[in-house]
Amino acid sequence: MLHRCFKDVYNKLGLEVFKDSFPVIIADNGSEFINSEAIEYDSDGNRRTHLFYCAPMASHQKPHVEKNHEYIRHILPKGESFDFLNQSKVTLMMNHINSIRRKSLNYTTPYKLAEILMNPKLLDIFLLKEISSDGIHLKEELLDSTRIKKTLLESLRIRKKIWIDIVGT
């Protein structure tokens, strides 16, 4: 299953952009990474990346990924099914997570760093965007469309009230 995701990304980006964007992939020893050749090579035998495995129980080997896991668990608590997720919900969640300033990145966001370091085609294809700091929402309700609509309506109501208070009408 995971190798199909890599294939889809590869097909969207092409060999050169994929290789430039993902020269190395660091993975845990999960079963989803068992078919390393399907991830490292395309169907024509072209190497597209190098896959390396972290030692078991060595989260210190990929601490930035672990921080993202922590943020994901704010939105998707442990034990909750991921069956309801689709690409648009995952993108929404990751846009919020990647818009949080990180001390480890000199108080910039992962998104800003991606803008500097990655091919812009990658950001466009995957609909990656930065969420304003006052719009970041790391709660379970983020992925509940009803809750999102209510939050947006409440935000608009408050802004309208502020505008009326400022303008006086």
Question: pLDDT per residue over 24-56, tens digit each?
Answer: 988 887 787 888 898 899 999 999 999 998 887
Average pLDDT of 56-79?
A: 81
The per-residue pLDDT for 77 is: 87
The DSSP code for 89 is: H
Residue 158 — φ and ψ, nearest 5°? Answer: -65, -45
The per-residue pLDDT for 146 is: 45
Would you say residue 60 has pLDDT above 90? no
- Burial class of residue 37, CB neighbours in 10 A (0-12, 13-18, 19+): exposed
Q: Model's pTM, two decimal places?
A: 0.71
CB 23 within 8 A of CB 117: no
CA dist 135 to 71, 120, 125, 161, Å? Answer: 15, 23, 23, 18
Range with top average pLDDT, 34-38, 45-49, 121-125, 145-149: 45-49
Residue 119 — φ and ψ, nearest 5°? Answer: -65, 130
Q: Give me the half-sphere count of Cα atoms (radius 13 Å) on the Cβ side of residue 50.
A: 4
